[in-house]
């Protein structure tokens, strides 16, 4: 397991490129399921083992933004940090994801697009010819 420890961000899991299908049906690099010989051990390695009500349960995969973010942006410098948040008087729970760029050492505002520094477009592509 690739764990990275940072004094500012804490300990988090780095994506290794292997993806498993979540209970919601999408592929996620942070989901792990062990079904060998009848076992049913499932975990989200992005959220980790938290105490209830911030713990991961399979129903959170339906609304989790991580599979969409990893499909849209495959930047190796972007680190995703996830946690479970409660909404609407604590009745519903969702996964909240923040992104951090290791190259420029700052938080990424739009994880689907990226920080804008790692993969800049050439000037020809950005500027329209007149």
Q: Distance between CA 54 and CA 95 in Å, rounded?
A: 9
Cα→Cα distances 85→4, 94, 115, Å: 23, 5, 24
| pLDDT 10s digits, 66-120 | 999 999 988 889 999 999 998 888 788 999 999 999 998 999 999 998 888 887 7
The structure tokens listed for 115 are: 């920080």
Record the pTM: 0.74
| pLDDT 10s digits, 17-55 | 577 888 888 999 999 888 888 888 899 999 988 888 889
> For the chain, what are the domain ranges?
3-126
Cα→Cα distances 121→75, 101, 116, 124, 125, Å: 14, 18, 9, 8, 6
pLDDT greater than 80 at residue 128 = no
Cα→Cα distances 98→66, 105, 109, 116, 118, Å: 10, 14, 8, 16, 17
């Amino acid at each position: 397991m690739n764990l990275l420890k940072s004094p500012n961000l804490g300990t988090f899991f780095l994506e290794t490129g292997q993806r498993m299908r979540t209970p919601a049906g999408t592929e996620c690099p942070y989901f792990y399921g062990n079904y060998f010989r009848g076992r049913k051990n499932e975990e989200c390695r992005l959220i980790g083992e938290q105490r209830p009500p911030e713990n991961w349960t399979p129903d959170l995969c339906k609304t989790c933004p991580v599979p969409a973010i990893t499909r849209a942006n495959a930047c190796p410098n972007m680190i995703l940090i996830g946690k479970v948040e409660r909404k609407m008087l604590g009745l519903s729970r969702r996964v909240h994801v923040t992104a951090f760029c290791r190259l420029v050492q700052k938080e990424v505002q739009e994880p689907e697009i990226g920080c804008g520094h790692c993969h800049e477009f050439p000037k020809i592509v950005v500027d329209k010819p007149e």
